[in-house]
Amino acid sequence: MEPLLFSICVIVFTLVSLFVYNAKSHGKSKNLPPGSFGWPFIGETYEFIFSNHDKFISGRMQNYSSKIFKTHLYGQPTVVLCGPSGHKFIAANEGKLMTAWRPTATRKLFQSAMPTGDSIVSRQSEIHLVRAPVFITQEALVAYASVMDGVTKHHFETHWFGKSQVEVFSLLELLTVGIATRLFMGLQDLDCVAKMAKWFGHIAQGLHVLPYEIPGTTFGRAMKGKRAVMNEIMKLMNEKRERLAKGEMPTDILSYMMVSADPSGKIRSDEEVADKVMGLTTAAFNSPCIALTFAMKYLAENPQVYQRIRDEQMEIAASKEPGDTLSLNDIQRMKYSWNVLLEVMRVIPPLQGTFREAMSDFTYDGYTVPKGWKVYWTVSSINKDPKIFTEPDKFDPTRFEGEIPPFLNMPFGGGPRICPGKDFAKLQMLIYLHYVVTFFKWQLINLNPKVLAAMNALPLDGVWVRLQRCAQ
């Protein structure tokens, strides 16, 4: 339905957009990067959203430049900076030459993604939140490991034990949303968690699509999910407000935000608090869910990799007393397991790239990028480059055993805007991996699951596996 909707939009807007498009100079007097703007108004957004992302990027790198090319995405003239040098340039010039920018769909879903006029203040606010005592400081991660361990074991006992086959992606949505809502909101009602998982799944799928709220479309479902999540968070806030009034101390990020000011000293509104917690939860579950789903696929396809992970994890399990939970020290011992996850995220990135906006004209590789243009960087320009990763289509976790040069291993971004929740994500992924390989062996049922190879690599029909319990 979505490609059809896109085609209708092309027909409706072409006449008007021809005038608008031609009226804009797009910096014609400047030495612009090579490339094509594609269709008027629509640009190359259709291919960007609906085609294979790797092919979209690599094809244009071959046709125009391996370092920079121009295109037209989401109604905006855009340059794509490629490779390690492109990301290094973006990281070095954050808040100087460029600022964060989000596509319209993301901005409609999250009020906190709207431009504030001061990206530095906005970023300080994000960092202020995640460094809060109840979020991802080292002390918080110690406590989180115990909670994640308990939630993960209960998840397997409830949804995996006694089953001959399961669909991995939907169960991982349930688990990762359950962990995030438990730790960020204090939510323990399992029925509510199940509803939240469905709603957050719709929100995550709507982040980089056409921003038309039409029933039955991806974005229509995303906006419906947003309203449901916001309503549920508001109910939780009312309950927490009563307990806080009785002297209860904040125990999660939601209650902390309700009683604390932002870096400027301003008390946040209920809507702002709910919006930010919704954004944190989406970020916390989406990438780990995707990465772990495809880890299950690659471990099934590579039994020698599975066995090496299992050997590592069984050694850790043998060092624990009955009833013990995994600790941060245990997580640090999972070196090969983490290399496997890094390789999974190289082959199938949970998120393909990020956008910026030029704050002023700047020059890159001899070309001018005009003020106001959008700047895009994608891991596709690195992860599949045979000059960087030998045999890039081969699944080989050993490539991460040595020292990886900067700006080559980028699953969580880099520079000033590196994902502040990367340690949180690593913790929950490795805890899951520990239990799934100690509990089970599995085989793929759908051998080649269809993947939406756009900004988020979503398994369209899920990843089904046949389970076999392992002897403990």
Q: Of 15-19, 163-167, 449-453, which range is least confident?
A: 15-19
pLDDT at 5 > cutoff 70: no
Q: What is the average per-residue pLDDT within 164-176?
A: 97
pLDDT confidence bin for 447, thresholds 50/70/90: confident
- pLDDT single digits (tens) 66-117: 999 999 999 999 999 999 999 999 999 998 999 999 999 999 999 865 554 4
For strand 374-378 and strand 76-81, is the pairing parallel, antiparallel, or unpaired?
parallel
- pLDDT single digits (tens) 228-242: 999 999 999 999 999
Q: What is the average per-residue pLDDT within 428-457?
A: 90
What percent of the chain has a predicted confidence (pLDDT) above 70? 87
The answer for residues whose C-beta is within 8 angstroms of residue 224's C-beta and 6 or more apart is: 202
How many whole angstroms separate alpha carbon 290 and alpha carbon 77? 30
pLDDT confidence bin for 265, thresholds 50/70/90: confident
Give the pLDDT of residue 404.
Answer: 79
pLDDT at 16 > cutoff 80: no
How high is the mean pLDDT of the chain? 87
Give the pLDDT of residue 402.
Answer: 82
Give the pLDDT of residue 145.
Answer: 92
Q: What is the average per-residue pLDDT within 241-268?
A: 87
pLDDT confidence bin for 125, thresholds 50/70/90: very low
pLDDT confidence bin for 452, thresholds 50/70/90: confident
DSSP notation for 177-242: HHHHHHHHH----HHHHHHHHHHHHHHHHTTTS-----TTSHHHHHHHHHHHHHHHHHHHHHHHHH
What's this model's pTM, rounded to 2 decimal places?
Answer: 0.89
CA distances in angstroms from 403 to 200, 339, 398, listed in the order given: 36, 12, 11
For strand 374-378 and strand 353-358, is the pairing parallel, antiparallel, or unpaired?
antiparallel
How many whole angstroms separate alpha carbon 56 and alpha carbon 381? 10
Candidates 242, 214, 229, 223; CA nearest to 277 is 229
Q: What is the end-to-end Cα distance of the chain in Å, rounded?
A: 48
How many whole angstroms separate alpha carbon 135 and alpha carbon 368? 41
Give the pLDDT of residue 29.
Answer: 57
- Domains: count for the chain: 1
Give the pLDDT of residue 68.
Answer: 97
CA 128 to chain centre: 20
How many whole angstroms separate alpha carbon 349 and alpha carbon 287? 8
Range of the domain at 272: 2-469
For residues 123 and 231, the answer to whether their CB atoms sit within 8 Å is: no
Q: Among all chains, which residue has been given the structure tokens 């991460």?
A: 400
pLDDT at 3 > cutoff 80: no
Looking at residue 442, which CATH number applies to its domain?
A: 1.10.630.10
Give the pLDDT of residue 445.
Answer: 96
Q: Buried b / exposed e across 34-59, counting CB within 10 Å, b at 16+? A: ebebbbbbbbbbbbbbbeebbebbbe
- pLDDT single digits (tens) 348-399: 998 888 899 999 999 999 999 999 999 999 888 899 889 889 999 999 999 9
Give the pLDDT of residue 453.
Answer: 66
Q: What is the average per-residue pLDDT within 51-56?
A: 88
What percent of the chain has a predicted confidence (pLDDT) above 90? 64
pLDDT confidence bin for 251, thresholds 50/70/90: confident
- pLDDT single digits (tens) 182-196: 999 999 999 999 999
Half-sphere exposure of 388 (CA within 13 A, CB side): 20
